[in-house]
Amino acid sequence: MAINLKPVDVAVVGLGAAGGVAVLPLARAGLKVAGIEAGTWMDPAKDFKPDEIHNNVRSLVTTVPKAKKEIPTFRTSPDAKARQAAAHPMMNAVGGTSIHYHAQSWRLKPWDFKTRSETVKRYGANMLPKGSTLEDWPVSYDELEPYYDIVEHEVGVSGKAGNIQGQLDPAGNVYEGPRQREYPMPALRTCDFLDLMHKAALSLGWKPFHAPAAINSQPYRGRAACAYHGYCDRGGCHVRAKNSTCFTTIPEAQKTKNLTVFDGAQVTRIVADNNGKVTGVLYIRDGKEYFQPAKVVLVSSYTYENTRLLLLSKSKAYPNGLANNHGQVGKHYFGHWDAQAGVGVTALFPMDVNTWYGAMLSQGVVVDEWADDTFDHSGLGFIGGASLCTFMEKHPIAGASVPTFGRAPAWGSKWKQFIHENAGRFTGAYLQTNSFPYENTYLDLDPEVKDPLGDPVCRVTSGPKENETRAAVYAQNKMEEWFRAAGAIEVIKGQPFGPALSTHTYGGTRMGDDPNTNVVDRWGFSYEAPNLGMLGGSVFGTSGARNPTLTMQALAWRTGEHLAKNWKTIAG
């Protein structure tokens, strides 16, 4: 029998990038919050190491192997048999994957929220990607702007504004939507290689700028500035300069005494009564099962687990899974077309570029001319594009794995000579392509593969798409142009094939104004279970051409604030 716990106002499932932010406005409003997290706390001094084998090769920056034991299966078409992927991209700890993420912290563009209507208006309905289920978001950039502003300051983001209330500044991103004020910290420091890329972009007539990042460029609210040691990628920050929620919003919420963190607690079901309201969550902790009653449940366990938890939580009111009486849970799924989806570009320079150290994408120079609807797409056969980013950080095993560009064999003395000369002379670029949901891209439960608890894992169906392939190839050519302008002597472009499992996946519980095609309303609450809210990338309707976390956090804050302001209506 499950042990019944004292009821709380709000149970938040998963204290990662999104849930870890939502707890703060709730706790400050005086609501009693249970933060239920499968992972445990990490200790920066002990757990975070400049060790490529630990961080990257073995993915050991995590506290419990929950994600590793429920790796989704994947297939590229609904007719194919799905196979379990080799690894899960996410980690489990208080703070979640905001511990080892790259921390580039972007606002989406106004266009990202209105892609469908803007495309029809500018190019006609024929330009909409074939088979896509694209809708405008129910939220506009202007509505989200105040929340972007709040989380940029509460979490801590370094950057240079390009558009403050319509005043453009070419030191920042002039293509961004208007913001009310400057970032709380300046961008991370520049260096010779980034200066080289910056200058090359200017020579092409482009408008390069330094990436915005949830990493402190200077001491901020009692936390240290970045040490640029070069183990940011899949590593936690040993000086707490990366603003993972376990160092920022979660401790801040704990100060109110209204947040109780239940760590090491794996939520298995969300429970609903016969009237369709949720009553709490079941979780397992230290081998015992508990029932945490709650007036409201917010689910923030990443895209795959958000969908899986709802589909697993069947009841009389929801025979096909919680909040799924319209059959929309798991639909409108999509992944970002980025380096993991074959959209990589690698360049070799005739001199050492010394990119060993740094802060990954967060110490980067970005070009945004070829993303979103910044340029005229007439006759191009696609909408969207990609942001182009060059960055600082390269680990030694990855450095020795430099492609030989046809200039040497892959082993032996000649190869040794090649890497001796060139491991320090190559670098990659990070391209993120505007990506969209389709009729045949979705999540459901795998019919065969189960986790150790006997529950089916999530099954991902997501194949290659013409629109995104064309956009990616177009952007790769621009990236090659940029590298060549900076003096690269060899450039290799990947073959875009589409995303598999990724840290940038979206949909499954999409947010929209139409309850027949969306799971949650404009505030993030279920159309069916009125006291159930969803947080994270699973509510996104488009990806933007940039990292999702800041938008997840702005939405999470907004959902939390809305709940606190409308407590009686929502909690009932």
Partner 1 sequence: MSEQRQGEISRRTVIASAAIVPIAALTAVSQTPPPSALSDAQLRLLAAFVDRLIPKDELGPSASESGVPEYINRSLGDYLAGEKTIFIEGLQATDAFAHRSQDRAFIDLSPDKQDAVLTSMESGSAEGFPNARAFFNRARRLTLEGMFGDPYYGGNKNFAGWDLIKYPGPRLATSADDQKMGVDIKPYRHSAYGSGETHGH
Q: Which stretch binds partner 1 (CB under 8 A): 23-31, 104-112, 252-260, 262-270?
A: 262-270
Q: How far is the CB of 530 from partner 1 (least distance, A)?
A: 19
Minimum CB distance to partner 1, residue 2 (Å): 5
- Among 202-210, 223-231, 434-442, 558-566, the segment contacting partner 1 (CB under 8 A): 223-231
DSSP labels for 124-147? -GGGSPTTB-----SS-HHHHHHH
Binding positions for partner 1, 512-541, rule CB under 8 A: none
Q: How far is the CB of 469 from partner 1 (least distance, A)?
A: 27
Q: Which residue has the tokens 């390009």?
A: 162
Residues 354-383 touching partner 1, rule: CB under 8 A, are 354, 356-358
**Is residue 60 within 8 Å of residue 68, measured between CB atoms?**
no
Of 121, 316, 407, 565, the one binding partner 1 by CB under 8 A: 316
In the complex, least distance from residue 402 CB atom to partner 1, rounded to whole angstroms: 9
Among 30, 57, 219, 381, binds partner 1 (CB under 8 A): 57
Member of 127, 164, 204, 282 binding partner 1 (CB under 8 A): 282
Which one among 264, 496, 512, 533 touches partner 1, defined by CB under 8 A?
264
For partner 1, the closer of residues 89 and 560 by Cβ is 89
- The window from 19-27, 188-196, 212-220, 539-547 that contacts partner 1 (CB under 8 A) reads 188-196
Tokens at residue 143, please?
């509505």
Shortest approach of partner 1 to residue 418 CB, angstroms?
A: 10
Q: C-beta of 431: minimal distance to partner 1 in Å?
A: 23
> By rule CB under 8 A, what count of residues binds partner 1?
73
From 117-125, 267-275, 298-306, 550-558, give the range in contact with partner 1 by CB under 8 A. 267-275
What single-letter amino acid sits at 250? I
- Of the pair 134, 241, the CB lying nearest partner 1 is at 241
Tokens standing for 9? 């106002």
Binding mask 399-438 for partner 1 (x = CB under 8 A): xxx--------xxxx--xx-xx--xx--------------
* By the rule CB under 8 A, 60 interacts with partner 1: yes
Strands 8-13 and 386-392: unpaired
Rounded to whole angstroms, how far apart are CA atoms 158 and 229? 17
State phi, psi for 104 to the nearest 5 degrees: -60, 130
State in angstroms the smallest separation of the CB of 374 from partner 1: 30
Nearer to partner 1, 86 or 125 (CB): 86
Q: Which of residues 67-126 bind partner 1 (CB under 8 A)?
A: none
By beta-carbon proximity to partner 1, the closer residue of 130 and 316 is: 316
Q: Which is nearer to partner 1, 124 or 287 (CB)?
A: 287
Nearer to partner 1, 171 or 224 (CB): 224
Show Cβ contacts of residue 143 under 8 Å, excluding neighbours closer than 6 positions: none
From the list 207-215, 229-237, 322-330, 551-559, the region that binds partner 1 by CB under 8 A is 229-237
* Binder among 28, 41, 64, 163 for partner 1 (CB under 8 A): 64
H or E element at residue 111: helix 110-113
**Mask of contacts with partner 1, 449-478, x by CB under 8 A?**
---xxx------------------------
How near is the Cβ of 57 to partner 1 at its closest, in Å?
Answer: 6
User: Among residues 48 and 333, whose Cβ is nearest to partner 1?
Assistant: 48
Cβ neighbours of residue 158 closer than 8 Å, sequence gap 6 or more:
183, 184, 185, 186, 187, 188, 212, 213, 214, 215, 216, 217, 218, 362
User: In which element (H, E) is residue 288 found?
Assistant: strand 288-299
Contacts of partner 1 in 337-356 (CB under 8 A): 351-354, 356
Cβ distance to partner 1 smaller for residue 192 or 513:
192
Q: Site for partner 1 (CB under 8 A): which residue of 9, 62, 129, 258?
A: 62
Among residues 7, 32, 41, 50, the one that binds partner 1 under rule CB under 8 A: 50
Contacting partner 1 within 119-138 (CB under 8 A): none
Residue 460 and residue 415 in contact, taking contact as beta carbons nearer than 8 Å:
no
Q: Are 61 and 39 in contact (CB under 8 A)?
A: no
The answer to whether the CB of 25 falls within 8 A of the CB of 557 is yes
Contact set for partner 1, span 11-40 (CB under 8 A) = 38, 40
**Exposed, middle or buried, 161 (CB in 10 Å: 0-12/13-18/19+)?**
buried
- Exposed/middle/buried for 53, CB within 10 Å: 0-12, 13-18, 19+? exposed
Binding-site member from 7, 32, 44, 49 for partner 1 (CB under 8 A): 49
Q: 3-state SS of the chain: helix, strand, coil percent to 5?
A: 25, 20, 50
Q: Which residues are within 8 A (CB) of 422 and not within 5 positions of it... i.e. 6 or more apart?
A: 348, 402
**Contact with partner 1 (CB under 8 A): which of 203, 218, 219, 289?**
289
Cα–Cα separations (whole angstroms), residue 252 to 93, 221, 563: 17, 11, 19
Q: What token pair was written down for 429?
A: 């670029």
Closest approach of partner 1 to the CB of residue 410, in Å: 7
Task: Using the CB atoms, write b or e for 285-321: b if 16+ within 10 Å.
Answer: beeeebbbbbbbbbbbbbbbbbbbbbbbbebebbeeb
Report which residue type is found at 555: L
Identify which of residues 285 and 522 has a Cβ nearer to partner 1 in the complex: 285
Residue from 496, 504, 545 nearest 342 by CA? 496
Pick 231 or 527: Cβ nearer partner 1: 231
Give CA–CA dist 230/363, Å, rounded.
Answer: 10
Query: How many whole angstroms separate alpha carbon 301 and alpha carbon 171?
Result: 36
